Structure 1
Amino acid sequence: MKPLRILIGCETSGIARRAFAERGHDVWSCDIEAAEDGSNRHIRCDIRDGILLEGWDLLAVMHPPCTRLCRSGRRWMSGPGKWSPPKQLPKGRSWDDMRAEFEEGVSVFTVCWAAQIPRVAIENPEMNDLARDRMPADLPSPQMVQPFWFGEPAYKATGWYLRGLPQLVATQPLPEPDRGSEDWKRWNRIHRMPPSAERARLRSRSFPGMMNAAADQWGGWAVEQEATA
Protein backbone atom coordinates (compact mmCIF):
# COMPACT_ATOMS: atom_id res chain seq x y z
CA MET A 1 0.00 0.00 0.00
CA LYS A 2 1.35 3.40 -0.94
CA PRO A 3 0.87 5.67 2.08
CA LEU A 4 -1.29 8.74 1.69
CA ARG A 5 0.00 12.25 2.30
CA ILE A 6 -2.42 13.62 4.87
CA LEU A 7 -2.66 17.04 6.48
CA ILE A 8 -4.52 17.44 9.76
CA GLY A 9 -5.30 21.13 10.01
CA CYS A 10 -6.12 23.19 13.10
CA GLU A 11 -5.11 20.47 15.57
CA THR A 12 -2.73 20.64 18.52
CA SER A 13 -3.76 17.50 20.42
CA GLY A 14 -2.29 15.07 17.86
CA ILE A 15 -5.24 12.71 18.29
CA ALA A 16 -6.21 12.68 14.60
CA ARG A 17 -2.59 12.80 13.41
CA ARG A 18 -1.67 9.74 15.45
CA ALA A 19 -4.77 7.82 14.33
CA PHE A 20 -3.91 8.21 10.65
CA ALA A 21 -0.17 7.67 11.26
CA GLU A 22 -0.89 4.35 12.99
CA ARG A 23 -2.35 3.17 9.66
CA GLY A 24 0.99 3.78 7.94
CA HIS A 25 0.28 7.14 6.30
CA ASP A 26 2.58 10.14 5.91
CA VAL A 27 0.73 12.51 8.24
CA TRP A 28 1.41 16.04 9.39
CA SER A 29 -0.61 18.37 11.58
CA CYS A 30 -0.55 22.15 11.58
CA ASP A 31 -1.80 24.96 13.79
CA ILE A 32 -0.70 28.40 14.91
CA GLU A 33 -0.05 26.81 18.33
CA ALA A 34 2.50 24.13 19.21
CA ALA A 35 1.58 20.44 19.37
CA GLU A 36 0.71 19.20 22.84
CA ASP A 37 2.73 16.02 22.29
CA GLY A 38 5.83 17.86 21.03
CA SER A 39 5.74 15.93 17.74
CA ASN A 40 8.20 16.81 15.00
CA ARG A 41 5.36 16.06 12.54
CA HIS A 42 3.59 19.28 13.51
CA ILE A 43 4.04 22.56 11.65
CA ARG A 44 3.30 25.86 13.35
CA CYS A 45 1.64 28.04 10.75
CA ASP A 46 -1.61 29.60 9.61
CA ILE A 47 -3.23 26.97 7.40
CA ARG A 48 -3.95 29.71 4.84
CA ASP A 49 -0.26 30.53 4.34
CA GLY A 50 0.62 28.04 1.59
CA ILE A 51 0.75 24.64 3.29
CA LEU A 52 -2.40 23.54 1.45
CA LEU A 53 -0.45 23.64 -1.83
CA GLU A 54 2.04 20.92 -0.87
CA GLY A 55 0.46 17.94 -2.64
CA TRP A 56 -1.80 16.34 -0.06
CA ASP A 57 -4.10 13.38 -0.77
CA LEU A 58 -6.47 14.12 2.11
CA LEU A 59 -7.14 17.14 4.29
CA ALA A 60 -8.93 16.87 7.63
CA VAL A 61 -9.51 20.20 9.35
CA MET A 62 -10.31 19.48 12.95
CA HIS A 63 -11.12 22.64 14.86
CA PRO A 64 -11.15 25.74 12.65
CA PRO A 65 -12.43 28.93 14.31
CA CYS A 66 -16.19 28.43 14.33
CA THR A 67 -17.57 30.23 17.39
CA ARG A 68 -19.11 32.99 15.28
CA LEU A 69 -20.24 30.67 12.48
CA CYS A 70 -22.34 28.26 14.53
CA ARG A 71 -26.01 28.68 15.32
CA SER A 72 -25.38 29.18 19.02
CA GLY A 73 -23.09 32.11 18.24
CA ARG A 74 -25.54 34.02 16.07
CA ARG A 75 -26.99 36.10 18.92
CA TRP A 76 -23.65 37.85 19.32
CA MET A 77 -23.50 38.69 15.61
CA SER A 78 -26.88 40.20 14.83
CA GLY A 79 -30.25 41.16 16.19
CA PRO A 80 -33.46 40.65 14.19
CA GLY A 81 -32.89 40.20 10.46
CA LYS A 82 -29.34 40.13 9.22
CA TRP A 83 -26.50 42.29 10.51
CA SER A 84 -28.55 44.53 12.74
CA PRO A 85 -26.88 45.48 16.05
CA PRO A 86 -27.05 42.55 18.49
CA LYS A 87 -29.10 43.05 21.63
CA GLN A 88 -26.19 41.95 23.80
CA LEU A 89 -22.45 41.30 23.47
CA PRO A 90 -20.06 39.18 25.52
CA LYS A 91 -18.57 41.10 28.41
CA GLY A 92 -15.64 43.23 27.32
CA ARG A 93 -16.16 42.56 23.60
CA SER A 94 -17.29 44.87 20.81
CA TRP A 95 -19.37 44.20 17.71
CA ASP A 96 -16.23 44.87 15.67
CA ASP A 97 -14.54 42.03 17.60
CA MET A 98 -17.41 39.71 16.73
CA ARG A 99 -17.31 40.70 13.06
CA ALA A 100 -13.53 40.20 12.88
CA GLU A 101 -13.81 36.70 14.38
CA PHE A 102 -16.66 35.91 12.00
CA GLU A 103 -14.56 36.98 9.00
CA GLU A 104 -11.63 34.87 10.19
CA GLY A 105 -13.87 31.82 10.55
CA VAL A 106 -15.31 32.32 7.07
CA SER A 107 -11.84 32.78 5.60
CA VAL A 108 -10.32 29.65 7.16
CA PHE A 109 -13.32 27.50 6.24
CA THR A 110 -13.63 28.65 2.62
CA VAL A 111 -9.88 28.49 1.92
CA CYS A 112 -9.74 24.90 3.20
CA TRP A 113 -12.88 23.88 1.31
CA ALA A 114 -11.50 25.30 -1.95
CA ALA A 115 -8.05 23.71 -1.54
CA GLN A 116 -6.77 21.73 -4.51
CA ILE A 117 -6.90 18.52 -2.52
CA PRO A 118 -9.15 15.67 -3.72
CA ARG A 119 -10.56 14.70 -0.31
CA VAL A 120 -11.55 17.18 2.37
CA ALA A 121 -13.27 16.83 5.75
CA ILE A 122 -13.91 19.94 7.84
CA GLU A 123 -15.25 19.67 11.37
CA ASN A 124 -17.72 22.45 12.14
CA PRO A 125 -21.12 22.75 13.82
CA GLU A 126 -24.25 23.50 11.83
CA MET A 127 -23.87 27.07 10.65
CA ASN A 128 -26.08 30.06 11.26
CA ASP A 129 -27.71 31.87 8.35
CA LEU A 130 -25.11 34.64 8.30
CA ALA A 131 -22.32 32.11 7.82
CA ARG A 132 -24.24 30.06 5.24
CA ASP A 133 -24.66 33.21 3.16
CA ARG A 134 -20.87 33.33 2.82
CA MET A 135 -20.26 29.68 2.02
CA PRO A 136 -19.49 28.16 -1.41
CA ALA A 137 -22.47 27.07 -3.47
CA ASP A 138 -21.27 23.46 -3.52
CA LEU A 139 -21.08 23.10 0.27
CA PRO A 140 -23.28 20.18 1.38
CA SER A 141 -25.12 19.89 4.66
CA PRO A 142 -22.87 18.46 7.37
CA GLN A 143 -23.02 14.89 8.53
CA MET A 144 -23.83 15.12 12.23
CA VAL A 145 -22.29 12.37 14.37
CA GLN A 146 -21.95 11.70 18.09
CA PRO A 147 -18.97 10.30 20.04
CA PHE A 148 -21.10 7.46 21.41
CA TRP A 149 -21.38 6.10 17.86
CA PHE A 150 -17.71 5.21 18.20
CA GLY A 151 -17.49 3.80 21.70
CA GLU A 152 -17.02 7.12 23.53
CA PRO A 153 -19.52 7.64 26.40
CA ALA A 154 -20.19 11.30 25.62
CA TYR A 155 -22.58 13.67 23.93
CA LYS A 156 -21.17 16.25 21.54
CA ALA A 157 -22.87 16.76 18.18
CA THR A 158 -20.04 16.96 15.65
CA GLY A 159 -20.59 18.15 12.10
CA TRP A 160 -18.43 16.98 9.18
CA TYR A 161 -18.51 18.81 5.87
CA LEU A 162 -17.23 16.28 3.35
CA ARG A 163 -15.88 16.51 -0.19
CA GLY A 164 -14.62 13.37 -1.94
CA LEU A 165 -15.15 11.26 1.18
CA PRO A 166 -17.97 8.99 2.43
CA GLN A 167 -19.98 9.69 5.54
CA LEU A 168 -18.72 8.06 8.71
CA VAL A 169 -20.39 4.82 9.78
CA ALA A 170 -20.83 4.02 13.47
CA THR A 171 -18.30 1.43 14.62
CA GLN A 172 -19.16 0.80 18.28
CA PRO A 173 -22.50 2.41 19.15
CA LEU A 174 -23.23 2.59 22.85
CA PRO A 175 -26.77 2.44 24.30
CA GLU A 176 -27.75 5.87 25.57
CA PRO A 177 -28.32 6.31 29.33
CA ASP A 178 -31.65 7.38 30.76
CA ARG A 179 -32.12 11.12 30.68
CA GLY A 180 -31.27 12.68 34.03
CA SER A 181 -29.36 9.63 35.30
CA GLU A 182 -25.81 9.88 36.66
CA ASP A 183 -24.49 8.29 33.46
CA TRP A 184 -26.43 10.83 31.39
CA LYS A 185 -24.85 13.65 33.40
CA ARG A 186 -21.40 12.17 32.81
CA TRP A 187 -22.10 11.88 29.08
CA ASN A 188 -22.91 15.61 29.11
CA ARG A 189 -19.66 16.57 30.86
CA ILE A 190 -18.46 18.62 27.86
CA HIS A 191 -21.54 20.83 27.95
CA ARG A 192 -21.33 21.12 31.73
CA MET A 193 -17.72 22.31 31.91
CA PRO A 194 -17.38 25.37 34.12
CA PRO A 195 -15.86 28.55 32.67
CA SER A 196 -12.05 28.52 32.61
CA ALA A 197 -9.11 29.56 30.49
CA GLU A 198 -8.88 25.99 29.18
CA ARG A 199 -12.60 25.43 28.52
CA ALA A 200 -12.54 26.16 24.76
CA ARG A 201 -9.50 23.95 24.17
CA LEU A 202 -10.88 21.05 26.20
CA ARG A 203 -14.32 21.28 24.58
CA SER A 204 -12.79 21.11 21.09
CA ARG A 205 -10.59 18.04 21.62
CA SER A 206 -11.15 15.18 19.20
CA PHE A 207 -12.43 11.82 20.40
CA PRO A 208 -9.97 8.96 19.73
CA GLY A 209 -12.76 6.54 18.83
CA MET A 210 -14.14 8.88 16.19
CA MET A 211 -10.67 9.57 14.79
CA ASN A 212 -9.87 5.86 14.60
CA ALA A 213 -13.06 5.38 12.60
CA ALA A 214 -12.12 8.30 10.34
CA ALA A 215 -8.63 6.91 9.80
CA ASP A 216 -10.01 3.47 8.90
CA GLN A 217 -12.93 4.63 6.76
CA TRP A 218 -11.61 7.77 5.07
CA GLY A 219 -8.08 6.45 4.82
CA GLY A 220 -9.27 3.12 3.46
CA TRP A 221 -11.55 4.84 0.95
CA ALA A 222 -8.73 7.05 -0.28
CA VAL A 223 -6.29 4.16 -0.58
CA GLU A 224 -8.78 2.23 -2.74
CA GLN A 225 -9.32 5.26 -4.95
CA GLU A 226 -5.59 5.80 -5.39
CA ALA A 227 -5.08 2.11 -6.24
CA THR A 228 -7.63 2.23 -9.05
CA ALA A 229 -6.70 5.67 -10.40
Structure 2
Amino acid sequence: MRVLIGCETSGVMRRAFAARGHDVWSCDLLPAEDRSNRHMICDIREVLHLGWDLLAVMHPPCTRLCRSGRRWMSGPGKWTPPKQLPKGRSWPDMRAEFEEGVALFTACWRAPVERVAIENPEMNDLARDRMPADLPKPQMVQPFWFGEPVFKATGLYLRGLAPLSATNRLTPPAPGTEAHKRWSAVHRAPPGPDRWKIRSRTFEGLAAAAADQWGGDARQEAA
Protein backbone atom coordinates (compact mmCIF):
# COMPACT_ATOMS: atom_id res chain seq x y z
CA MET A 1 0.00 0.00 0.00
CA ARG A 2 0.96 3.62 -0.45
CA VAL A 3 0.69 5.10 3.04
CA LEU A 4 0.92 8.72 4.16
CA ILE A 5 1.62 9.45 7.81
CA GLY A 6 0.64 13.05 8.39
CA CYS A 7 1.72 15.45 11.13
CA GLU A 8 4.52 13.21 12.38
CA THR A 9 8.15 14.15 12.98
CA SER A 10 9.21 11.20 15.16
CA GLY A 11 8.97 8.64 12.32
CA VAL A 12 7.56 6.00 14.68
CA MET A 13 4.45 5.24 12.61
CA ARG A 14 6.31 5.59 9.31
CA ARG A 15 8.95 3.06 10.38
CA ALA A 16 6.28 0.60 11.57
CA PHE A 17 4.62 0.52 8.14
CA ALA A 18 7.98 0.50 6.33
CA ALA A 19 9.09 -2.53 8.34
CA ARG A 20 6.12 -4.42 6.87
CA GLY A 21 7.04 -3.59 3.30
CA HIS A 22 4.72 -0.67 2.53
CA ASP A 23 5.53 2.38 0.42
CA VAL A 24 5.20 4.90 3.23
CA TRP A 25 5.97 8.59 3.61
CA SER A 26 5.58 10.99 6.50
CA CYS A 27 4.78 14.68 6.27
CA ASP A 28 5.01 17.65 8.62
CA LEU A 29 5.92 21.33 8.67
CA LEU A 30 9.04 20.33 10.63
CA PRO A 31 11.90 18.02 9.55
CA ALA A 32 11.90 14.36 10.57
CA GLU A 33 13.83 13.66 13.74
CA ASP A 34 15.45 10.62 12.09
CA ARG A 35 16.38 12.67 8.97
CA SER A 36 14.62 10.18 6.74
CA ASN A 37 14.54 10.84 3.00
CA ARG A 38 10.93 9.60 3.04
CA HIS A 39 9.66 12.65 4.89
CA MET A 40 8.06 15.65 3.17
CA ILE A 41 8.31 19.08 4.80
CA CYS A 42 5.08 20.80 3.81
CA ASP A 43 1.44 21.34 4.74
CA ILE A 44 -0.23 17.94 4.52
CA ARG A 45 -3.04 19.45 2.49
CA GLU A 46 -0.59 19.91 -0.37
CA VAL A 47 -0.10 16.15 -0.80
CA LEU A 48 -3.44 14.56 0.08
CA HIS A 49 -4.27 14.07 -3.62
CA LEU A 50 -1.18 12.01 -4.54
CA GLY A 51 -2.89 8.62 -4.69
CA TRP A 52 -2.60 7.20 -1.18
CA ASP A 53 -4.25 3.93 -0.07
CA LEU A 54 -4.15 4.81 3.63
CA LEU A 55 -3.86 8.13 5.44
CA ALA A 56 -2.94 8.21 9.12
CA VAL A 57 -2.82 11.72 10.58
CA MET A 58 -1.23 11.28 13.96
CA HIS A 59 -0.92 14.67 15.62
CA PRO A 60 -2.84 17.44 13.87
CA PRO A 61 -2.77 20.68 15.92
CA CYS A 62 -5.50 20.12 18.47
CA THR A 63 -4.80 22.55 21.30
CA ARG A 64 -7.93 24.61 20.54
CA LEU A 65 -10.09 21.57 19.68
CA CYS A 66 -9.52 19.37 22.74
CA ARG A 67 -11.48 19.40 25.98
CA SER A 68 -8.50 20.56 28.03
CA GLY A 69 -8.24 23.75 25.96
CA ARG A 70 -11.92 24.62 26.03
CA ARG A 71 -11.60 27.12 28.87
CA TRP A 72 -9.40 29.35 26.69
CA MET A 73 -12.00 29.47 23.91
CA SER A 74 -15.23 30.34 25.69
CA GLY A 75 -16.78 31.17 29.01
CA PRO A 76 -20.19 29.80 30.10
CA GLY A 77 -22.31 28.65 27.18
CA LYS A 78 -20.78 28.80 23.73
CA TRP A 79 -18.54 31.54 22.35
CA THR A 80 -18.79 33.91 25.27
CA PRO A 81 -15.65 35.79 26.36
CA PRO A 82 -13.28 33.47 28.27
CA LYS A 83 -12.71 34.27 31.92
CA GLN A 84 -8.98 34.09 31.31
CA LEU A 85 -6.56 33.84 28.39
CA PRO A 86 -2.99 32.53 28.22
CA LYS A 87 -0.43 35.21 28.90
CA GLY A 88 0.23 37.37 25.86
CA ARG A 89 -2.63 35.91 23.79
CA SER A 90 -5.79 37.55 22.45
CA TRP A 91 -9.20 35.96 21.93
CA PRO A 92 -9.17 36.68 18.15
CA ASP A 93 -5.81 34.91 17.86
CA MET A 94 -7.15 31.91 19.79
CA ARG A 95 -10.22 31.74 17.57
CA ALA A 96 -8.05 31.94 14.45
CA GLU A 97 -6.08 28.92 15.70
CA PHE A 98 -9.37 27.14 16.36
CA GLU A 99 -10.54 27.79 12.79
CA GLU A 100 -7.24 26.54 11.38
CA GLY A 101 -7.50 23.38 13.47
CA VAL A 102 -11.03 22.74 12.21
CA ALA A 103 -9.98 23.37 8.60
CA LEU A 104 -7.01 20.99 8.78
CA PHE A 105 -8.98 18.22 10.48
CA THR A 106 -11.83 18.54 7.97
CA ALA A 107 -9.48 18.51 4.97
CA CYS A 108 -7.85 15.29 6.19
CA TRP A 109 -11.18 13.63 6.91
CA ARG A 110 -12.49 14.49 3.46
CA ALA A 111 -9.26 13.53 1.68
CA PRO A 112 -9.64 11.38 -1.47
CA VAL A 113 -8.25 8.34 0.36
CA GLU A 114 -10.15 5.09 1.00
CA ARG A 115 -8.79 4.44 4.50
CA VAL A 116 -8.34 7.28 6.98
CA ALA A 117 -7.32 7.43 10.65
CA ILE A 118 -7.00 10.75 12.46
CA GLU A 119 -5.63 10.85 15.98
CA ASN A 120 -7.03 13.51 18.28
CA PRO A 121 -7.78 13.87 21.99
CA GLU A 122 -11.42 14.02 23.00
CA MET A 123 -12.88 17.15 21.40
CA ASN A 124 -14.67 19.96 23.16
CA ASP A 125 -18.26 20.84 22.26
CA LEU A 126 -17.23 23.86 20.18
CA ALA A 127 -15.08 21.70 17.93
CA ARG A 128 -17.65 18.91 17.64
CA ASP A 129 -20.19 21.46 16.41
CA ARG A 130 -17.90 22.22 13.46
CA MET A 131 -16.95 18.70 12.44
CA PRO A 132 -18.21 16.95 9.27
CA ALA A 133 -21.65 15.37 9.68
CA ASP A 134 -20.34 11.88 8.88
CA LEU A 135 -17.57 11.96 11.49
CA PRO A 136 -18.09 8.97 13.83
CA LYS A 137 -17.37 8.82 17.52
CA PRO A 138 -13.68 8.11 18.05
CA GLN A 139 -12.29 4.82 19.22
CA MET A 140 -10.54 5.65 22.49
CA VAL A 141 -7.36 3.65 23.06
CA GLN A 142 -4.57 3.67 25.64
CA PRO A 143 -0.86 2.87 25.17
CA PHE A 144 -1.14 0.15 27.84
CA TRP A 145 -3.42 -1.78 25.46
CA PHE A 146 -0.30 -2.33 23.37
CA GLY A 147 2.31 -3.12 26.01
CA GLU A 148 3.35 0.45 26.87
CA PRO A 149 3.13 1.30 30.62
CA VAL A 150 1.64 4.75 29.97
CA PHE A 151 -1.67 6.55 30.45
CA LYS A 152 -2.65 8.65 27.43
CA ALA A 153 -6.23 8.44 26.20
CA THR A 154 -6.08 8.75 22.42
CA GLY A 155 -9.04 9.16 20.08
CA LEU A 156 -8.92 7.53 16.64
CA TYR A 157 -11.42 8.78 14.08
CA LEU A 158 -11.67 5.99 11.51
CA ARG A 159 -13.04 5.74 7.99
CA GLY A 160 -12.65 2.50 6.04
CA LEU A 161 -10.64 0.95 8.89
CA ALA A 162 -11.56 -1.43 11.70
CA PRO A 163 -11.02 -0.34 15.31
CA LEU A 164 -7.68 -1.42 16.72
CA SER A 165 -7.64 -4.52 18.90
CA ALA A 166 -5.45 -4.64 22.00
CA THR A 167 -2.30 -6.69 21.48
CA ASN A 168 -0.69 -6.76 24.94
CA ARG A 169 -3.03 -5.20 27.49
CA LEU A 170 -1.23 -4.37 30.73
CA THR A 171 -2.93 -4.04 34.12
CA PRO A 172 -2.81 -0.39 35.27
CA PRO A 173 -1.32 0.27 38.71
CA ALA A 174 -3.49 1.53 41.55
CA PRO A 175 -3.97 5.32 41.84
CA GLY A 176 -1.62 7.00 44.29
CA THR A 177 1.20 4.51 43.84
CA GLU A 178 4.64 5.37 42.49
CA ALA A 179 3.95 3.14 39.50
CA HIS A 180 0.79 5.10 38.75
CA LYS A 181 2.81 8.32 38.79
CA ARG A 182 5.31 6.84 36.33
CA TRP A 183 2.49 5.73 34.03
CA SER A 184 1.18 9.32 34.15
CA ALA A 185 4.45 10.84 32.91
CA VAL A 186 2.86 12.24 29.73
CA HIS A 187 0.30 14.24 31.70
CA ARG A 188 2.87 15.25 34.31
CA ALA A 189 5.39 16.55 31.75
CA PRO A 190 6.76 19.89 33.01
CA PRO A 191 6.30 23.12 31.04
CA GLY A 192 9.00 23.78 28.50
CA PRO A 193 9.83 23.96 24.79
CA ASP A 194 9.72 20.17 24.35
CA ARG A 195 6.50 19.51 26.25
CA TRP A 196 4.48 19.28 23.04
CA LYS A 197 6.84 16.58 21.72
CA ILE A 198 6.47 14.52 24.88
CA ARG A 199 2.69 14.79 24.85
CA SER A 200 2.24 14.08 21.14
CA ARG A 201 4.73 11.27 20.51
CA THR A 202 3.32 8.03 19.09
CA PHE A 203 4.17 4.93 21.10
CA GLU A 204 5.80 2.04 19.26
CA GLY A 205 3.31 -0.54 20.53
CA LEU A 206 0.38 1.38 19.08
CA ALA A 207 2.27 1.97 15.82
CA ALA A 208 3.01 -1.74 15.48
CA ALA A 209 -0.64 -2.62 16.07
CA ALA A 210 -1.79 -0.08 13.48
CA ALA A 211 0.70 -1.33 10.89
CA ASP A 212 -0.25 -4.97 11.49
CA GLN A 213 -4.02 -4.51 11.68
CA TRP A 214 -4.51 -1.78 9.07
CA GLY A 215 -1.77 -2.68 6.65
CA GLY A 216 -0.72 -6.27 7.20
CA ASP A 217 2.64 -7.54 5.98
CA ALA A 218 3.06 -6.50 2.35
CA ARG A 219 6.16 -8.68 2.05
CA GLN A 220 4.20 -11.86 2.73
CA GLU A 221 1.38 -10.82 0.40
CA ALA A 222 3.87 -10.25 -2.41
CA ALA A 223 5.61 -13.61 -1.86
Confirm whether residue 168 of structure 1 aligns to residue 133 of structure 2.
Answer: no
Alignment partner, residue 149 of structure 1 = 145
Question: Which secondary structure does the structure 1 equivalent of 2:93 belong to?
Answer: helix
Alignment partner, residue 103 of structure 1 = 99
Matched to 2:57, the amino acid is V
Which runs of 5 or more residues in structure 2 are unaligned? none
Shift of 1:72: 1.1
Matched to 2:160, the amino acid is G
Matched to 1:157, the amino acid is A
**Residues of 1 paired with 2:90 and 2:157: CA distance?**
30
TM-score scaled by length of structure 1: 0.94
Confirm whether residue 10 of structure 1 aligns to residue 46 of structure 2.
Answer: no
Alignment partner, residue 59 of structure 1 = 55
Alignment partner, residue 22 of structure 1 = 19
**Residues of 2 paired with 1:94 and 1:161: CA distance?**
30
Matched to 1:219, the amino acid is G
TM-score scaled by length of structure 2: 0.96
Confirm whether residue 74 of structure 1 aligns to residue 70 of structure 2.
Answer: yes
**Residues of 1 paired with 2:121 and 2:181: CA distance?**
22
**Residues of 1 paired with 2:99 and 2:115: CA distance?**
24
**Contact kept? 2:20, 2:216, Cα under 8 Å:** no
Alignment partner, residue 135 of structure 1 = 131
Confirm whether residue 48 of structure 1 aligns to residue 45 of structure 2.
Answer: yes
Matched to 2:146, the amino acid is F
Shift of 1:76: 0.4
Single out whichever of 88-97 and 28-37 deviates more from structure 2.
88-97
**Residues of 1 paired with 2:136 and 2:151: CA distance?**
23
Which runs of 5 or more residues in structure 1 are unaligned? none
Question: Which secondary structure does the structure 2 equivalent of 1:106 belong to?
Answer: helix
Shift of 1:104: 1.1
Q: How many residues end up aligned between the 2 structures? A: 220
Shift of 1:182: 1.0
Shift of 1:79: 0.8
- Runs of 4 or more off by more than 4 Å in structure 1? none
